[in-house]
Amino acid sequence: MSATKAWILIGTLTLSIPALVPAEEKERKRLEACSQVIEEMAEMPEGIPRDLLDKAECVVVVPGVKKAALGVGGRLGWGAAACRTARGGGPWSAPLMVSLKGGSLGLQIGGESSDFVLLVMNPKGIDHLLKSKFTLGADASVAAGPVGRNAEAATDVLMHAEILSYSRSRGIFAGISLEGASLAQDDRGNQAIYGAKVSARELLLNPARRIPAAGRDLVEALERLSSRRRG
């Protein structure tokens, strides 16, 4: 290789590095926001019932969902999902980056920006999460999650819903139905965090998968809030 070609190659690689850094930083901040949202919504007096969180197989957190150019009332947001890596016990998984969009997200309680938490309650719900994309209410049954510390009255909801959904906007917290919204894997976000193409199954169901530094706060928050590990 000539010296001229070598310098051209070095220059090309140098110029490409700054483009990668903002993407990784953006996803790191997204995971930080997910960690903050799940802790705040679980710790609120009338927040996500802890016994329901303990029953959940996976948690999806989508902070700061905003109005988007998707038609009247359109919303779009990016977040992350994590699952327990073993039935009945086991650590929380490495996070899977996801996107959530739909025509009526957040309209029920108003506000320009809303935080969403979805609890995946059974294996069928996990199967949907492993797909590249699925629609809440059509592909997977979803219901507004009951609020408060005691969810004993939620037996019927648990029997019929694979996913329970919650929203917070302008300080108002509520269980909220997300029928018609679509949840999809965010391939670009996962590429930025893991540096390679990864599968949802590899991230969500493999207890040996290393937790990336950017995702540790979220996983540690879930472990503090709800751990079913068996000693």
DSSP annotation of 50: H
Q: How much is the pLDDT for 13?
A: 41
Tell me the Ramachandran region of residue 223: left when phi exceeds 0, alpha when psi lies from -120 to 50, beta otherwise. Answer: alpha
Q: 15-24, 56-65, 143-152 — which one is most confidently predicted on average?
A: 56-65
pTM: 0.83
Tell me which of 61-65, 115-119, 169-173 is least confident: 169-173
Q: How much is the pLDDT for 187?
A: 96
Query: What tens digit of pLDDT does each residue of 51-110 get?
Result: 889 989 999 999 988 765 444 456 789 999 999 998 666 799 999 999 998 756 554 444
Quick one: pLDDT band at residue 229, thresholds 50, 70, 90?
low
Mean pLDDT, rounded, of the chain: 81
Spatial CB neighbours of 33, under 8 Å, sequence gap ≥ 6:
63, 64
Parse the chain into domains and list their residue ranges: 17-225
Quick one: pLDDT band at residue 16, thresholds 50, 70, 90?
very low
Whether 26 has a pLDDT exceeding 60, the answer reads: yes
Share of the chain above pLDDT 90, in %: 51
Q: Provide the β-strand partners of residue 172.
A: 169
β-strands 58-67, 163-169: how paired? unpaired
Query: What tens digit of pLDDT does each residue of 181-190 get?
Result: 899 999 999 9
